[in-house]
């Protein structure tokens, strides 16, 4: 059902202004792209100024958790300890770790080491050793608002090959951010990520991607990093999503551990890296909400 708003009616955004002097031009611009056949966002997925404030409050916890991990992660630490840090810091700051019980996920954080692509289970038995690369993926709920970001950590003496994988993956994420623009397309970001990774001889995981985020942990649209510029959802101010490519040193194929249906590995057991930022599209560009 579509309800037609009169030009003199109050705007749907809640500003209290008349529609014609508020979001009418914005909606016309979206409609133009929809008529050309592009996928366009629904109003309900866009974040208003007061939502953005709440997202930033949630992200403040998420960033604090990752900052703490960055300072304290080291050789000899088991990843169950990281899970405890995440739970304790998040709840002390008034938040809830979003992964805990999400679709049955049994921990507060994902810790993915070396050939683990994502969703690695923290464990007393996984002891970080020199040469490991590890992704720690944190997500927080505060006041019903979700934040989500992840970082890579190098443990001890890491080989130049693995260091480069971690660096290039981070660069690719930021190239994706640079390509993210209001009234551009999600595919512009995807292609920028893809091209940088493949130019360095890496592959980008196809089956698992990013997502809209904020009101829910995982909102539409699904965000891939192998799509073409000029395709995918139209990016408009108020749209919030994650840039979180999973980049493999070797072949692109992955598999999920049948023992728990969560932990994802590279098929060839070569290393994989991932960084994640949560990004708001603004009137003039972008703002990174969580990192």
Least separation, in Å, of the C-beta of 152 and ligand MF3?
13
Least separation, in Å, of the C-beta of 7 and ligand MF3?
40
**Stretch near ligand MF3 under the rule CB under 6 A, chosen from 10-18, 32-40, 98-106, 253-261:** 98-106
**Stretch near ligand MF3 under the rule CB under 6 A, chosen from 103-111, 184-192, 231-239, 281-289:** 103-111
137's contact among Co ion, ligand MF3, none, with CB below 5 to 8 A by partner kind, is ligand MF3
Q: Interface with ligand MF3 includes 83 (CB under 6 A)?
A: no
d(CA 36, CA 188): 17
**Stretch near Co ion under the rule CB under 5 A, chosen from 54-62, 72-80, 145-153, 200-208:** 145-153
Which tokens hold the place of 148?
A: 């989500």
99's contact among ligand MF3, Co ion, none, with CB below 5 to 8 A by partner kind, is ligand MF3
**Stretch near ligand MF3 under the rule CB under 6 A, chosen from 23-31, 96-104, 250-258, 282-290:** 96-104
d(CA 197, CA 204): 7
CA angle 151, 153, 157 (to 5 degrees): 160
Q: Which of 147, 191, 242, 272 binds Co ion (CB under 5 A)?
A: 242
- Residues 178, 192 contacting (CB under 8 angstroms): yes
Residue pointed to by tokens 């683990």: 116
Least separation, in Å, of the C-beta of 208 and ligand MF3?
9
d(CA 245, CA 197): 10
Q: Which of 117, 88, 51 has the alpha carbon at shortest distance from 274?
A: 117
**Stretch near Co ion under the rule CB under 5 A, chosen from 12-20, 42-50, 148-156, 257-265:** 148-156
- Residues 267, 253 contacting (CB under 8 angstroms): yes
263's contact among ligand MF3, Co ion, none, with CB below 5 to 8 A by partner kind, is none
Most distant CA pair in the chain: distance in Å? 65
Q: Which of 68, 105, 198, 215 binds ligand MF3 (CB under 6 A)?
A: 105
102's contact among ligand MF3, Co ion, none, with CB below 5 to 8 A by partner kind, is ligand MF3
Q: Interface with ligand MF3 includes 119 (CB under 6 A)?
A: yes
Phi, psi of 153 (to 5 degrees): -130, 140
Positive or negative: CA dihedral 70, 76, 77, 80: positive
Q: Interface with ligand MF3 includes 102 (CB under 6 A)?
A: yes
Q: Interface with ligand MF3 includes 244 (CB under 6 A)?
A: yes
Residues 6+ apart with CB under 8 A from 223: 186, 189, 190, 209, 210, 211, 212, 241, 242, 243, 244
């Amino acid at each position: 059902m579509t309800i037609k708003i009169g030009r003199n009616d109050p705007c749907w955004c809640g500003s209290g202004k008349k529609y014609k002097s508020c979001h009418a031009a914005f909606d016309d611009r979206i409609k133009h792209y929809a008529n050309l056949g592009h996928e366009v966002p629904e109003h309900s997925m866009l974040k208003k100024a007061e939502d953005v404030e709440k997202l930033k409050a949630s992200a403040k916890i998420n960033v604090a958790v990752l900052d703490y991990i960055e300072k304290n992660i080291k050789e000899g630490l088991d990843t169950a300890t990281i899970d405890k840090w995440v739970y304790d810091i998040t709840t002390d700051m008034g938040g809830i770790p979003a992964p805990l019980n999400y679709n049955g996920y049994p921990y507060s954080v994902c810790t993915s080491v070396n050939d683990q692509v994502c969703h690695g289970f923290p464990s007393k038995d996984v002891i970080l050793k020199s040469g490991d690369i590890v992704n720690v993926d944190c997500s927080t709920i505060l006041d019903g608002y979700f934040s989500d970001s992840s970082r890579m950590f190098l443990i001890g003496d890491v080989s130049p090959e693995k260091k480069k994988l971690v660096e290039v993956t981070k660069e690719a994420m930021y190239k994706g951010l640079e390509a993210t623009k209001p009234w551009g397309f999600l595919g512009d970001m995807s292609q920028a990520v893809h091209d940088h990774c493949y130019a360095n001889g890496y592959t980008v995981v196809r089956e698992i991607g990013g997502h809209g985020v904020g009101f829910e942990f995982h909102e539409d649209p699904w965000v891939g990093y192998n799509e073409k510029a000029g395709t995918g959802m139209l990016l408009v101010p108020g749209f919030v999503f994650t840039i979180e490519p999973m980049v493999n040193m070797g072949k692109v194929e992955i598999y999920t551990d049948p023992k728990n249906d969560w932990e994802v590995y590279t098929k060839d057991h070569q290393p994989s890296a991932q960084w994640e930022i949560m990004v708001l599209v603004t009137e003039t560009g972008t703002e990174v909400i969580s990192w």
